[in-house]
Every structure is written in structure tokens, then in C-alpha cells.
Chains A and B, each alone.
Chain A
């Protein structure tokens, strides 16, 4: 049997284009004509520009050469060399206990989730990390889902650093739909940035209240988008999230308000599903309650690193 060609339905083209091509009788990539007649075909069928680009690049004949010439592939031996160079740079969070918990600071290319009750310092830490990156001259994309930090406030925070205005890009997200659009377009973004800071990713979910399956689907999509951008462009990701109450029975299974002896536990709102990989740091910022210290009432927070998932959960 000859080598099978790729079916057109597996390419990322819009459904209207796929329908037009199928109606004209084209099922696989081999069916599409090469070069000039391809352009004619695209005009005749009225295929949008983006889809025609995809079709063109997918039907390109790959280069010859050994497996070393495969796209995005390198030998394991070359990876060894990069181990020693991988003493990755650490960025301080300007909060010594958190820095200690993270073994010196947030590593470049790492993923950090900060969750905590309202009033805990997670947003402040997020802005501290942004400041760290600005001081190092890195570019940042700050996504604000809950209206926590507008550009004027940011400007005030970084008055001492003149390049801040140039380095920090600000994006405001109002609803779950906008968040999904953002995640979809994340990998297509032309301008590269070094830090992606998302302020309160759980807030759009709180308002929209999607069904359980829709929620899982969206979280998987977010995971895919974040993984892609983290791995391919080595972007550091910092996310803050609110907490929800989860009721746990004495034996550890999920309970509800009617179960006897159930305790309420505060857990990050979206769970762990949306985070790219097991190497993400998940930190819970807990409020210690007001203390009377030299005549003033102050609140302190304590940080706790959430344990990695046990198998079977």
C-alpha cells in the first residue's frame, strides 16, 4: 500500500474551508494541486488567507537528511551539554519566605501559581515579580482578569524604572469568552515576551459558571496553550487564583454539607488541571490573622507549597 497522505480534516482549517474542499472532491493533501494551480484553486473556492497558508505549508515536501533534520528535534547528546548551562536564572519575588520556598526565587521558564483568600498578598507578589523582570530588562505581558491593577497604578509602582512603560504590555479580560480567545491566540502572538502574568485566572469562571464538562474542556485548552508557550518560547508563567471551599469527609472522599464530620478545606479554585506540568510550583498564601505588634495591627501571611499529586488521585 502506498504511503497514506494526510487527511484534510486533520489540518487546522476552518470548517467552511473544509466543507468547500470536500465538496470539490479533495480529501487528502495529495489531492491538492501543487504551486500555481493551487493558487487558482484557492481563488475559485474562496478560501481565506490564513487557511491557504496552512494548506500551503502542510503540503510542502520535507527536507531530506537524517533524523537530525526533523523539525524541532535534537539528539539527547546535545541536551546533555545544555544541562550545565541550565543553571537558570532566578528572579526574586521580593518576599524572602517565598524566595526561600522556591529555592532562591522564581526560575526562568518556570511556572508559579499563587492562590489565597482575598486580602492575602498574592497580587502584590505578582507585581513584585513583574518589577523583578522589568529590572532585568525582560518584557512582560500582564493579563488582568479582575481589574486588580490598572496601567496608572502600575506606572506609579515603577516610577523609578523608565523602561517599564516599554517593557510591560497590559491586557484586560472581561469574560470567560475573552479568556478563551486569548488562550487560542497566545501561540500565534508575534511579539515575544518573557513573562506571562495572569491576575486572578479563576474570576472569569466564577462569573460564567460553565457546566462541569465545559469547564474541564476549557481547562484542558488553557493547559495546552500554556504548555505550548512555556516550552517553545521559554516563557515564565505566574498565575494568581482564588480559593474555593471543598468539603472533605473523614475518610478523605468528597463530601457535602450534610455529611457528618466533614471538614471544609480551602483549595485553589481551578484545581491542578490547567497547569502545564508537574514542575509547576503551587503556593498557597494563607492569612495569619491580625496581630498586635508594637501598637499597630498588622496581618502577616504564610506561604505553603502544595504537594505534588499522589498517583491515583
Chain B
């Protein structure tokens, strides 16, 4: 932060420090090992050394994060709102997807991610009449007809549908700047009117098309943009207790080839429901660590005896911070 922004520092001190090349708080704290050294470089001693140290202390207090006791963290401050998805997944997740989290749903083209999320969001809006949702569409593929179809399947009259759909907001944003604008505007509004809007869901459809063009092998600016935005989303989710759902596409996974073996080993994971995978979530290896959970949706190959009208999909939790793996190793056994 710029030293000019701190109102508590006297102006002449700020200008003097600027002449020494110290413009930001980082410079002040880290450019030399002790404050005495900086003080000795000041040409006119307009303030005394204890006052100078006091100023530095004020800056440090302002910038530092406040501590929290572990006891406080253990008790949730208010009952957590959960988003219900599929029954078996909810049983595993202890009720549903928890609030104040950023969750990634990835899968191939046509695996059913968008329709799954649309179903879950609409069901949530149906059950709880005060909450609202925001769907950010980056590819233009959102079809309102599908939402109407889903609501018709659940026997909703046209009037009910209209009232419900008033609470679902659809945004069209094709690049990072527009999405940033929308979410920051929402941030500002939610900060002002804390209780009147109950925004509970934000879905960003296809975060791959947002970040993908920025990621490159020759520059890390794209990765920095991605990391900064994801950090902002997590902070946003925590502050307003919303569930942020990101839809991510899939890319080809290169199986590891060992130097000794002639043939490349197939990638298998005995704990996974899939026999072997050649597809993995897109956006690189670090994206999965920027979200709180990664779910993978896939089309299950149709069995011969199945009717042609239905397709089967499988959802697997690849990684999650809020649920325990079923395969936790028991001590003393495998």
C-alpha cells in the first residue's frame, strides 16, 4: 500500500521518505533491516525516533491479519446453508454442497455438467423462496427453454415459473473484464444492503473460456490473473456465504511414460469408478487447488438393455476440502 494513503503519517515525512525512494509500506518495512537505519537517512528530523517507530507500528497493525482462536473456528457462526444435489452425493457430503465455498464441476463436452447445475439451482430456488441466484454465461449457450422444461417436469404452473425465474439472474459476459465488473458490482451492492438480497448461488458457466486464453507457457501473467481472481472469489464466498460453482472443461491427459519401459503405462486409479482416464480437468495442475472441491461428471457408456431415451451420468468427487474420502486408510489395515 502506498504510504500516501495512510492518513496517520505526517505529509512531510511521506515526502521525505519518497525522496529516499520509499513509496509503499513494503519498501518501508523491508528495504532495510532496522527502522533506525531509515531514520538516520532522513535529512531533516521533523519527528523524533520514538514517534517514527510508533508510525511504523501503526502501519503494521493496519496491514497485518488479525488472529483467530481455533475454538472460535470450530463453532460455525450461523447454520450453514447447503445446496442439495443428487441423493447419494448428498448422503456422502453430509447434506449437500456447503455454503461459503468455491466448487469446480468439470467434465467433457456433453457430460451433463450444465444441466446438472441448472437442475440443482432450480430445485434450490423452488424449495427456498427467498434466495436468488446469478448465472454468468460466458459462451452464450444458456438455453432458457431447458430451465422451463425442468420446471414443467416438476409440475410448476406458468405463474409460479415466472415468479421463480425472477429470482434467477442471467448475465452475459465473454471475457475476464466483464465478469470482474459484474462480480465487483454485486460485491458493492451486497455490502450496502446486507439483508434484503439473499444471493446464494453464483454459477460461472465455463471458466475455461475465461482463463484459458490467458494461460501460456511463456508468461505467468495469465496464471497471476487466474490466482488473483480465484482468491477474490473465495473471499467473496466467505464474506457473503454464497456457493460459487465453476464449470470447467476437460483436456487430454498425457499418461506418464517411464524411461525404462517401452510401452507407456495407462493411468489407472483403483479407487476411482472409472477404469482408466485419459481426460482431466482443464486449466492446468494448480487450478484444482484454488477451489474447495472438484467434481467430475462423465457420461456412462450405455448398456444394451437400456432404453434409448435415457443417458446415464456419473459424478465423482475428485478432491474436496469439506468431506472425508471413503477410502481413508484404517490404522493397521489396508
Contact = CB atoms under 8 A, between A and B. Distances in A.
A311 B299 contact: yes
Contacts of A69: 185, 189
Nearest to B299: A311
A99 to B, nearest CB: 24
B192 A70 contact: no
Interface in A57-84: 58, 61-77, 79-80, 83
A313 B189 CA distance: 42
A248 B139 CA distance: 31
Interface stretch (A115-123, A145-153, A200-208, A273-281): A273-281
A75 B189 contact: no
A75 B199 CA distance: 13
B139 A80 contact: no
Contacts of A6: 180, 184, 232
Contact of B174 (A26, A232, A279): A232
Nearest to A230: B140
A232 B173 CA distance: 9
A220 interface: yes
A190 interface: no
B111 A311 contact: yes
A289 interface: no
Nearest to B278: A312
B303 interface: no
Nearest to A3: B187
Given A31-B2, A278-B141, A311-B299, A64 B189 contact: yes
Contacts of B117: none
Contact of A62 (B148, B166, B188): B188
Given A73-B134, A220-B212, A80 B162 contact: yes
B140 A276 contact: yes
B170 A75 contact: yes
B111 to A, nearest CB: 6
Contact of B171 (A26, A63, A66, A70): A70
Contact of A213 (B108, B132, B177, B217): B217
B213 A221 contact: yes
Contacts of B108: 311-312
B181 interface: yes
B216 A217 contact: yes
A138 interface: no
Given A65-B189, A311-B110, A75 B168 contact: yes
A14 to B, nearest CB: 12
Interface in B144-175: 144-145, 147-148, 161-163, 165-175
A73 B192 CA distance: 19
B224 interface: yes
Contacts of A221: 213
B192 to A, nearest CB: 6
Interface in B63-96: 65
Contact of A70 (B145, B176, B185, B224): B185
Interface in B2-24: 2, 5, 23-24
A1 interface: yes
A4 B232 contact: yes
Nearest to B229: A10
A18 B23 CA distance: 17
Contact of B182 (A71, A76, A276, A277): A71
A126 to B, nearest CB: 23
A49 B131 CA distance: 43
A72 B139 contact: no
A75 B172 CA distance: 11
A26 B2 contact: yes
Contacts of A77: 162-163, 165-166, 168
Contacts of B140: 227, 230-231, 276-277
Interface string B208-248: 01001100110001001100110110010001000000000
A310 B279 CA distance: 14
B293 to A, nearest CB: 22
Given A67-B186, A80-B144, A3 B180 contact: no
18 contacts: A3-B187, A4-B235, A7-B224, A10-B229, A58-B177, A67-B197, A70-B185, A73-B169, A75-B166, A76-B147, A76-B166, A77-B165, A80-B144, A80-B161, A220-B213, A224-B175, A309-B110, A311-B299
Given A27-B24, A70-B189, A76-B170, 20 more contacts: A6-B180, A7-B224, A25-B27, A31-B2, A62-B188, A62-B189, A65-B189, A66-B197, A70-B182, A70-B185, A73-B170, A75-B168, A76-B144, A76-B147, A76-B169, A77-B168, A83-B144, A276-B139, A277-B139, A311-B108
